[in-house]
Structure 1
Amino acid sequence: MAQELSNSFLTNPEKAYQAYLENGYHIESNVLTVAECNMLIAASKQLENAVCGNYRPQMMPHRQNSLYLLAMKNPLIIEIMRQILGGTPVGLQTEYFYCKPGTRGFSLHQDNFFVEAPYGAFGSAWVALTNTHLEKGGLIVYPGSHKEGSLPVKKLSSNKDMAQDPNANNEETIVPPKYKIMHAPVPRGAALFIHGHLVHGSNPNATMEWRHVLLNTFIRKGEYFRPGNYAQREAIDLCQRA
């Protein structure tokens, strides 16, 4: 973990970029301040899925509160996305995860399974608003698996968790055995940047604390993407004011 955090795009961008190309992910610390994290958590209490009480992940919270659009336009996030996507990033999607105690994890998947963008043109910034670790809904990654491109999936028949994304456990990516699982704890305010083809998932939240996360996804300007029936993605101009 300490080694990952030392590979910062701020202090050594070339080293960080090469590690991202090799592993398919990058953890950048101190992307948001504690105060910014707390503001986003406080605002989440007024989002539709909190008000109705089911605390399902809120798709596109920026359409309800511009604070989430402002977070998506964080200059460091945009600059890192520009480097790893190899061009001007355009926003696609925001999603707020409450992950209350007992919430199931997200099955193994590749984000681009849902988006269908060209290889390397799509990526995500998974921003931890609280500390995350194995017991607290922490992420699972398979370093290097992004090099495989699109992998096959198998259907799952597990029961739905109403506090989880409805797409969370419909399918599971079949991971070639040469790739090994790794748990990726992400501290509060840090962002995990994820290649669109990296196989990853999350653990259940086995603690008594809520695990708040803001997911932002981006695509290289001008590239194709699938809007999706549930997500209803649309290009977001990151140059305009929130």
Structure 2
Amino acid sequence: MGSQAVIPERLEPLAKEQIEFFHEHGYVLFKKGCSSDLIDAFNGHIRDIRSVAAEEMPEWVKPRKAGEVLDKDRFSVRLFNPHQHDGFSRQVMKLPVIRGALAQLMGDEAVCVQSMYFYKEPGSPGQAAHQDYYYIKDDPKTMVAAWIAMEELVDEENGCLWVIPGTHRLGLLPHGAVKDLEEHEAYTHETEGIDLKAQIPVVMEKGDILFFHELLIHSSNKNRSKDRWRRSYVCHYIRQDSMVLHREDLRVKYPLY
């Protein structure tokens, strides 16, 4: 008989009040969920990945923007799905505190389907208000994002996230062309039919983790700081019995144990 894998016990990092807050508002901020030392090491590791000579870059590493690979984009174009190729990225993806919190929010074990490392250097645009479900549809709807702050401070000046509490209850809203191209990236889409004056900023410190529902309307603005980056690592998770629809590139489920 073959030996069975030992599945480690899950943590339960969220208090009852935090779980209730998530279900009522669509998000919850978990303070200091990731250590500063780990973040420093991960930031350095990701920088090294993009620092190699262009001809030595694997395809998944290349800073591709609108189909074109330019050297100037090494540390501006987000790194898509590093968890699919890189062991360190997978380890951060499945931090025990994240695994435990997601199980508390979903009611069962979570699996990862997408990851992104954002650089967001000074002067770079943000992403217009949107719902993640518009880009990644899953059945049943269970997706939750875990957004880790990789800087000492992520605030309004360097492009923090903004959320509209409670909008996860509205269902999927129409999305159209981005309106403010000075503020936001042009190649994404923007939620329509919602009053953006209800947005509030989520100021985060290094190691904080923001968990938010796939239908929560959220955005970020331009990094207006002179010398402060806004690096972050965000992974999208679904419950283990859920499936990603229409996206062949995100069909593989990565367990968190």
The TM-score bracket by the shorter chain reads 0.7 to 0.9
Q: Which residue number corresponds to residue 150 of structure 1? A: 172
CA–CA distance in 2 between the matches of 1:178 and 1:94?
27
| Kept in 2: contact 1:128–1:214 (CA 8 A) | yes
Shift of 1:177: 3.6
Q: Which residue number corresponds to residue 65 of structure 1? A: 86
| Kept in 2: contact 1:92–1:217 (CA 8 A) | yes
Q: Which residue number corresponds to residue 197 of structure 1? A: 215
CA deviation map 1:37-78 (0-9, x unaligned): 101110111233579441200001123431110011101111
CA deviation map 1:122-171 (0-9, x unaligned): 0100000112001111001000000111111122366699xx9x8x7431
Q: Which moved more, 1:184-193 or 1:170-179?
A: 170-179
Provide TM-score, normalisation by structure 2: 0.79
Q: Which residue number corresponds to residue 21 of structure 1? A: 23
CA–CA distance in 2 between the matches of 1:178 and 1:70?
36
Shift of 1:173: 0.6
Structure 2 unmatched ranges of 5 or more:
1-11, 50-60, 64-69
Q: Which residue number corresponds to residue 240 of structure 2? A: 221
Aligned length: 225
CA deviation map 1:66-123 (0-9, x unaligned): 1110011101111111111221101111110000111100111101111111464101
CA–CA distance in 1 between the matches of 2:94 and 2:177?
35
CA–CA distance in 1 between the matches of 2:71 and 2:83?
18
1:176 and 1:119, CA in 2 relative to 1: closer, same or farther beyond 3 A?
A: farther
Q: Which residue number corresponds to residue 100 of structure 2? A: 79
- 1:78-227 to structure 2, matched below 5 A, reads 78-118=99-139, 120-130=141-151, 131-156=153-178, 169-177=187-195, 180-207=198-225, 208-226=227-245
Write 1 or 2 for the structure with the bigger share of strand. Answer: 2
Report percent identity of matched pairs. Answer: 24
Q: Which moved more, 1:128-137 or 1:62-71?
A: 62-71
* Amino acid across the alignment from 2:200: M
* Amino acid across the alignment from 2:127: F
Superposition RMSD on alpha carbons, in Å?
Answer: 2.5
CA deviation map 1:14-54 (0-9, x unaligned): 10000111110000011111101101110111233579441
Q: Which residue number corresponds to residue 37 of structure 1? A: 39
CA–CA distance in 2 between the matches of 1:211 and 1:177?
26
